[in-house]
Structure 1
Amino acid sequence: MLSDRIRGAAGAFAVGALATHLVATVLQNTPDSYNQDLRKFTGGWPLPGWRFFAPNPGVQNVHLLVRETTPDGGAATPWRDVTPGVEHGWKQVLWNPGSRGPKALFDAMQQLSVMSSNQADFTWVTRSLPYRLVFSASRAAVAADAGALQFLLMNVFPSAPPEHRMKPILTSEWIPLDSPAGGAEAAG
């Protein structure tokens, strides 16, 4: 009899704790203007800070395009989209270690997009870590004997009319690749 009461009380406590956690999580993740800082009420219990897509949903894709010249400084190749593809399937919900590289590149391209939209000084942008990361991804996509490369970040708005679908974000200068380090110091 006593063990039934203990089990019932433990079950009620667990359900109550879970319900409290869910309600606190929902309250913690409301838009910032309504957000209450619940940390002072949780006694150190961590609440997840999920933002998903709100309040600023993504409406564009960022693409990385590159072109290169031959070692003798010949004509530039046409722009090529070298944005890494991301595999989508049911298994990726559970296990997707291959998403880290493309996500890091995407985050770097987003940072460069923010810098560009805020009219950051181009010299400062070229010395930034995101610029170096995008340069490295671009370098990996061009021929080993390329003389120089240039990359372009392009916003693509899939739902926009065709004449407004693409908007350039940032175009690098021509970066020479003649150094032993593969042009790393030339990129910043």
Structure 2
Amino acid sequence: MLADRIKGAVASCAVGALAAHLIATVLQNTPDSYNQDLRKFTGGWPIPGWRFFAPNPGVQNVHLLVRETTGDGPTPWRDVTPVVPHGWTQVLYNPQSRGPKALFDAMQQLSVMSANQADFAWVTRSLPYDLVLAASRAAATDDAQALQFLLMNVFPSAPAEHRMKPILTSEWIPLGTAAPRTAGAVG
């Protein structure tokens, strides 16, 4: 009998603590958040601060375009942005998203550098640039002698004349048997 009361009390406390935590989480993550007031009541218990897309929601997609030089001259630009499959199982487990996510993050970082007028020489020595360059090299055709990549912001909801905005265009990068340059290399 006493054991049942103890189990009931423990279960009630656990349900109450979970409910309080969920309510505090919702309050903290609402616009004009109440988190300043909640911090003094949490007693050191961390409340998640999910901001998802705030304060700057994503309104554009970044695309990686590549063109090469062959014996016939420069080829047209082609989009080599990885396509990530979206299905109901990817909500639970999607290991194929890691590579494209890393590339997307690198392209976003290059967008930030470009928006902040970073020096091109500094940008070309950055790790995000190296990652995008490696993805571009992987997409190059076998007969390519050199390649150039272009990062393009695409604003799907913008009017047609303002839908695309170039972010960064690389110089022509010779292709061959030489090993790719790594960040921090002098040359």
Q: What TM-score do the two structures reach when normalised by structure 1?
A: 0.86
**Match in the other structure for 2:14:** 14
**Match in the other structure for 1:107:** 105
Q: SS at the partner of 1:5? A: helix
2:181 corresponds to 1:184? yes
Residue 34 of structure 1: CA displacement? Answer: 6.0
Percent of paired sites with the same residue: 77
| Structure 1 residues 112-171: Cα deviation after superposition (integer angstroms, max 9, x where no partner) | 000000000000000000000000000000113421110000011111111111110111
2:169 corresponds to 1:174? no
Residue 180 of structure 1: CA displacement? Answer: 2.2
1:167, 1:187 → 2: CA distance? Answer: 29
Contact 1:65 1:79 in 2 (8 A): yes
Report the CA distance shift for 1:10/1:97 in structure 2 as closer, same or farther (over 3 A).
Answer: same
Contact 1:108 1:131 in 2 (8 A): yes
Contact 1:61 1:157 in 2 (8 A): yes
Cα RMSD of the aligned pairs, angstroms, is 2.6
User: 1:4 is aligned with what amino acid?
Assistant: D
Contact 2:130 2:182 in 1 (8 A): no
Aligned pair count reads 184
Q: What TM-score do the two structures reach when normalised by structure 2?
A: 0.86
2:53 corresponds to 1:53? yes
**Match in the other structure for 1:78:** 76
Where in structure 1 are there 5+ consecutive unaligned residues?
Answer: none
Contact 2:148 2:169 in 1 (8 A): yes
Question: Aligned match of 1:136 in 129, 134, 155?
Answer: 134
Contact 1:69 1:148 in 2 (8 A): yes
Where in structure 2 are there 5+ consecutive unaligned residues?
Answer: none
1:114, 1:16 → 2: CA distance? Answer: 44
